[in-house]
Amino acid sequence: MKNIRVILISGLSGSGKTTAIKALEDIGFYCVDNLPILLLPKFIELCEQSGGKISKVAVVEDVRGEASYPDIERALNHADTASAVEEGEKDFLENSIRIIQNLKREGYPIEILFLESSDPILMRRFSETRRQHPLAVGGSIREGLRLERTQLQGIRDMANTVIDTSQLNVHQLKERIQQYAQEGRSSGQMTVVLLSFGYSFGIPFETDLLIDVRFLPNPHFVEDLKRLKGDHPEVARYVLQWQETKEFLRHVQEFIRFLFPLYEREGKTHLTIAVGCTGGRHRSIVIVNQLAEMLREELKKRGIFLSVRHRDADKG
As a whole number, mean pLDDT of residues 75-101 equals 57
The CATH number of residue 44's host domain is: 3.40.50.300
* Residue bearing the bigger pLDDT, 280 or 129: 280
Pair 21, 103 in one domain: yes
Which residues of 23-71 form beta strands (DSSP E)?
A: 30-32, 56-60
What is the model's pLDDT at position 273? 95
Is the CA virtual torsion 244, 250, 251, 256 positive or negative?
positive
pLDDT digit string (tens) for 201-225?
999 888 889 999 999 999 999 999 9
Say if residues 10 and 114 touch (Cβ distance below 8 Å): yes
Pair 177, 204 in one domain: no
Does residue 315 sit within a domain? no
3-state helix, strand, coil in the chain (%, to 5): 50, 15, 35
As a whole number, mean pLDDT of residues 274-289 equals 97
Among 108, 109, 112, residue whose Cα is nearest residue 97: 112
As a whole number, mean pLDDT of residues 55-78 equals 62
Question: How much of the chain exceeds pLDDT 90, in percent?
Answer: 42
Pair 114, 237 in one domain: no
Please state, as a whole number, how many other Cβ atoms lie within 10 Å of the Cβ of residue 267.
11
Helix 233-240 / helix 283-301 crossing angle, nearest 10 deg: 90
Pair 195, 287 in one domain: yes
What is the model's pLDDT at position 84? 40
Pair 45, 172 in one domain: yes
Residue ranges making up the domain that contains 260: 191-310
Please state, as a whole number, how many other Cβ atoms lie within 10 Å of the Cβ of residue 54.
15
Whether 95 has a pLDDT exceeding 90, the answer reads: no
What's the pTM? 0.64
Pair 231, 86 in one domain: no
Average pLDDT, the chain: 84
Does residue 280 sit within a domain? yes
Pair 178, 211 in one domain: no
Pair 162, 250 in one domain: no
Q: How many domains does the chain have?
A: 2
Of 110-114, 221-225, 232-236, 276-280, where does mean pLDDT reach its minimum? 110-114
